[in-house]
Amino acid sequence: MSMNIHPDWLQVEQELGSRPVLAGRYEDIRAGSDQLMAVLNPLYALPSPEPKVFGETLPSGIVVRIFHPGVPSQNSLPVGIFFHSGGWTSGNVEGEKATCYHLAHYVPAIIVAVSYRLAPEYKAPTAHRDAVEAFLWTVTNSRRLGGDPKKLFCIGGSAGGNLALSVVLRAIELKMSVAGVAAMVPVTVHPDAVPPQHKSLYTSYAESTNTPIINTSSMNTFYETYDPMPTDPLVSVLLNPDLSKMPRAYIVGCTADPLRDDARLLVHELERMGSVASTLYLPSAN
């Protein structure tokens, strides 16, 4: 079963000359992701003045890239920890630097973008451990970077959205404070771990065999390559016992996306638990 695609996105496909789909083996997805980002990045006008960008290496060797607003601020700024997309197997900070530029400039905030290690070279739970390490480093160094540790938030899309949610839940477990989380089209539950009461609502995988960018086959490759335990509560965050303690959350979903119902189930659970969640659904566009 396929979904109707929004006319605005069909126009983008026409301009690109085809429908971009990241599918095949993980090597194919990596190459396709790099090619797609190289095409899409120039479409985003960079803010002026451009944020200042510099890199730092964490003790384990993980590299973070810091995007600092180009306009001086008299006050300590919020600090956002950014995790790129790519199914834990592909993508990089360079491919999503336009997003980091815009976040740094328009929030404004100091953005710490994390180059976490990828599968299959580094299987589960490596990316999640790297994400937590980057979070702890950022907490320790936020004042040095000009940020306010009381205004720290996590943000990411797809697998990066999963990492953002996972880090916040790990922080809760460690009794550390996080101001909020923004997760765009996030992974929230492994298909094999969907709670029985929600299975009738979890249909987007069956409906997403021909969606743009990623489809059901793409997600299967991501899971097979990263190889997480389906019920790991830091991967299937929907199952996490600390979910009710989630701070303010902003969740973005897309109706033509295999992860549509991941977002919907998360919002459903957060609202049921009394958490504050703001939601945006992009109609029929991945």
Per-residue pLDDT at 1: 44
* Mean pLDDT taken over the chain: 94
pLDDT in tens, 42-78: 888 889 898 999 999 999 999 999 999 988 888 899 9
In the chain, how long is the greatest CA-to-CA distance?
54
pLDDT in tens, 82-137: 999 999 999 999 999 999 999 999 999 999 999 999 999 999 999 999 999 999 99
Separation of alpha carbons 28 and 24, rounded Å: 6
Kindly report the pTM of this predicted structure. 0.95
Whether pLDDT at 2 is above 60: no
- Using CA atoms, how far residue 20 sits from 14, 135, 193, in Å, is 11, 33, 29
Write out the two tokens for 122. Answer: 């580094």
Q: What is the mean pLDDT of residues 145-170?
A: 98
Does residue 120 have a cis bond before it (omega within 30 degrees)?
yes
- The full set of domains in the chain, from first to last, is 7-44+52-282 (3.40.50.1820)
- How many other C-beta atoms lie within 10 A of the C-beta of residue 240? 23
